[in-house]
């Protein structure tokens, strides 16, 4: 089967979050299963672009609100990622340093989507499936079906994966001036609550909707930032497929970002070496349990609860643990965390940054990873933690609920709690500190965690099965 994934991000080319990790791994595993899966994304100006060689594949143009817009498609020469990687360049719009965060983002992603379908029209043999990811690519299925100039594409099967339904790409109707000519009778397929809603449009137009865990799929029927009734209406074509992780990238035995590589056999010493190194860097005592939080500092991840929870835990369990936070996001949370650092008596530290290398070192060094998320479609960090023998402490929601079992339950290996509240977080930190004192239990849990197989193989196969039901 031939599959074209369309995404705003792809690891290691350009990453803002978990979406990149999924798009950087799933196609590779689909290829290993004998399929022909590729990726097209915007040509962000990242290091990867400069470090690799590219072939010029196609140059094209289309009319964009009365102006001729030219685009270029380039392809990474060696398929270094395990799949063909194509990037779309539109001068001045897509060749920027950041993936998101510009006032004209909606125009940038409209141009990207227009270029993708325009390029697709040039293919001699069309792919079996166009698989779009999140709202940035959500108008493609509509354009393929109802754009007058793109009728050649209207038989291609389409799949949408919802990585996060909180963001939907809302825009007002004046933006239709940037659309290719389309069948106006079909305006209803663009709309939700009187606005153009690219995520809703994709849900309406695609053949299959997937999301990144089964529990999140169920949650979307009653909590989807306004789209609940749409998900319910389209429920027959909706499926939850839990994400995997790239076992080659996330492997403590070979990870070149670590101070010291280790396997299940030498896990105690391996983690201790990494921990000592990291603790020296952050002024921590390596004999105490090390807790970490890695992620965007936003309400969705319940990062607003971190300062108060850590403060209370520090006063309840003084000098009994270290806590390191890595991430950036809402300025008020960043400020509170920096303030706590000044008053954390050396047991709390924070890096307000996005730092891929440090995150790997943290998974290898830490004893516990905290994820109190209010919303977590899948969550990958808990899966990375397991692979590195680090115990996840998670709120039972979305993908966290599907991938972590509490140590109090049969076959358990993690710590789970119900509410995104300071109380639940502090209690869980207490449970973890208590557990840490039992070195025999800790060791056996670590081994158990490292045995859990969340590689992409199973889930990549599930996606293929979903494609097969429509082709």
Looking at the Cβ atoms of 378 and 433, the one nearer to ligand GLC is 378
Q: Is 22 in the site for ligand GLC (CB under 6 A)?
A: yes
Quote the crossing angle between the two packed helices 439-451 and 422-436, to the nearest 10°: 110
Q: Is 163 in the site for ligand GLC (CB under 6 A)?
A: yes
Q: Is 159 in the site for ligand GLC (CB under 6 A)?
A: no
Looking at the Cβ atoms of 30 and 72, the one nearer to ligand GLC is 30
Q: Which residues of 157-192 are buried (b: 16+ CB within 10 A; e: fewer)?
A: bbbbbbbbbebbbbbeeebeebbbebeeeeeebbeb
Q: Is 299 in the site for ligand GLC (CB under 6 A)?
A: no
Residue 424 dihedral angles phi and psi, to the nearest 5°: -65, -35
Q: Is 18 in the site for ligand GLC (CB under 6 A)?
A: yes
Instruction: List Cβ<8 Å contacts ≥24 apart for 105-109.
Output: 106/169, 106/171, 106/175, 107/178, 108/42, 109/8, 109/42, 109/136, 109/137, 109/169
CB of 206 to ligand GLC, least distance (A): 17
CB of 163 to ligand GLC, least distance (A): 3
> CA dist 259 to 83, 277, 282, 323, 351, Å?
30, 7, 15, 20, 19
Contact characters 387-426, ligand GLC, x per CB under 6 A:
------------x---------------------------
Q: Is 28 in the site for ligand GLC (CB under 6 A)?
A: no
Q: Is 377 in the site for ligand GLC (CB under 6 A)?
A: yes
Task: Please give the Cα distance from 222 to 144 (Å, whole number).
Answer: 30
If phi > 0 it is left, if psi is from -120 to 50 it is alpha, else beta; for residue 65 that is left
Looking at the Cβ atoms of 26 and 73, the one nearer to ligand GLC is 26
Looking at the Cβ atoms of 6 and 279, the one nearer to ligand GLC is 6
Region from 90-98, 195-203, 314-322, 378-386 binding ligand GLC, contact rule CB under 6 A:
378-386
Q: 13 is written with which tokens?
A: 């080319």
CB of 383 to ligand GLC, least distance (A): 9
Number of residues that bind ligand GLC (CB under 6 A): 14
Q: Is 378 in the site for ligand GLC (CB under 6 A)?
A: yes
CB of 461 to ligand GLC, least distance (A): 17
Q: Is 369 in the site for ligand GLC (CB under 6 A)?
A: no
Q: Is 157 in the site for ligand GLC (CB under 6 A)?
A: no
Torsion (CA) 139, 142, 144, 145 in degrees, nearest 10: 180
Region from 11-19, 108-116, 137-145, 450-458 binding ligand GLC, contact rule CB under 6 A:
11-19
Q: Which residue from 51, 54, 53, 71 is spatially nearest to 62, judged by alpha carbons?
A: 71
Q: Which residues of 387-420 are buried (b: 16+ CB within 10 A; e: fewer)?
A: bbbbbbbbbebbbbbbbbebbeeeeebbbbbeeb
Q: Which of residues 209-228 bind ligand GLC (CB under 6 A)?
A: 212
Query: In the Cβ-directed half-sphere of 280, how many Cα atoms lie within 13 Å?
Result: 6
Q: Which of 76, 118, 376, 402 is close enough to bind ligand GLC by CB under 6 A?
A: 376
Q: Which residue from 271, 267, 315, 265 is spatially nearest to 290, judged by alpha carbons?
A: 271
Looking at the Cβ atoms of 111 and 160, the one nearer to ligand GLC is 160
Q: Which of 380, 426, 429, 432 is close enough to bind ligand GLC by CB under 6 A?
A: 380
Residues binding ligand GLC (CB under 6 A): 17-19, 22, 163-164, 212, 243, 376-380, 399
């Amino acid at each position: 089967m031939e599959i074209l994934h369309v995404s705003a991000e792809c690891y290691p080319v350009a990453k803002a979050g978990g979406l990149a990790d999924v798009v950087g791994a799933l196609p590779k595993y689909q290829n290993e299963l004998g399929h022909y899966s590729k990726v097209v994304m915007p040509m962000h100006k990242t290091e990867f672009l400069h470090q690799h060689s590219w072939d010029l594949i196609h140059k094209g143009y289309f009319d964009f609100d009365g102006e001729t817009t030219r685009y270029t498609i380039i392809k990474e020469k060696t398929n270094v990622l395990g799949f063909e990687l194509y990037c779309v360049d539109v001068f001045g719009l897509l060749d920027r340093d950041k993936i998101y965060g510009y006032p004209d983002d909606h125009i940038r992603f409209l141009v990207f989507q227009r270029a993708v379908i325009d390029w697709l029209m040039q293919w001699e043999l069309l792919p079996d499936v166009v698989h779009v990811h999140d709202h940035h690519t959500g108008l493609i299925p509509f354009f393929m079906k109802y754009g007058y100039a793109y009728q050649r594409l209207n038989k291609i099967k389409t799949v949408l994966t919802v990585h996060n339904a909180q963001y939907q790409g809302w825009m007002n109707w004046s933006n239709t001036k940037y659309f290719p000519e389309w069948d106006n009778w079909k305006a209803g397929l663009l709309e939700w609550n009187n606005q153009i809603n690219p995520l809703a449009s994709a849900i309406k137009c695609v053949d299959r909707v997937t999301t990144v865990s089964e529990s999140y799929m169920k949650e979307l029927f009653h909590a989807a930032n306004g789209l609940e009734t749409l998900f319910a209406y389209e429920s027959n074509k909706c499926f939850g497929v839990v994400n995997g992780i790239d076992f080659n990238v996330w492997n403590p035995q070979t990870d070149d970002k670590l101070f010291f590589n280790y396997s299940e056999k030498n896990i105690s010493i391996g983690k201790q070496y990494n921990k000592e190194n990291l603790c020296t860097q952050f002024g921590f005592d390596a004999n105490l349990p090390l807790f970490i939080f890695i992620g965007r500092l936003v309400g969705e991840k319940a990062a607003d609860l971190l300062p108060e929870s850590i403060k209370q835990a520090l006063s309840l369990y003084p000098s009994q643990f270290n806590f390191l936070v890595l991430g950036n996001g809402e300025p008020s949370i960043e400020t509170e965390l920096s303030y706590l650092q000044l008053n954390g008596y050396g047991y709390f530290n924070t890096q307000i940054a996005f730092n891929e290398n440090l995150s790997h070192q943290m998974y290898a060094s830490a004893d516990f990873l905290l994820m109190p998320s209010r919303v977590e479609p899948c969550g990958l960090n808990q899966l990375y933690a397991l692979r590195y023998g680090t115990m996840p402490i998670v709120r039972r929601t979305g993908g966290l609920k599907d991938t972590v079992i509490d140590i109090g339950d049969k076959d358990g290996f993690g710590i789970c709690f119900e509410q995104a509240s300071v109380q639940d977080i502090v209690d869980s930190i207490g449970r973890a500190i208590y557990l840490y004192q039992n070195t025999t239990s800790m060791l056996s849990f670590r081994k158990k965690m490292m045995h859990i197989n969340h590689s992409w193989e199973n889930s990549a196969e599930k996606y293929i099965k979903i494609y097969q039901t429509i082709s």
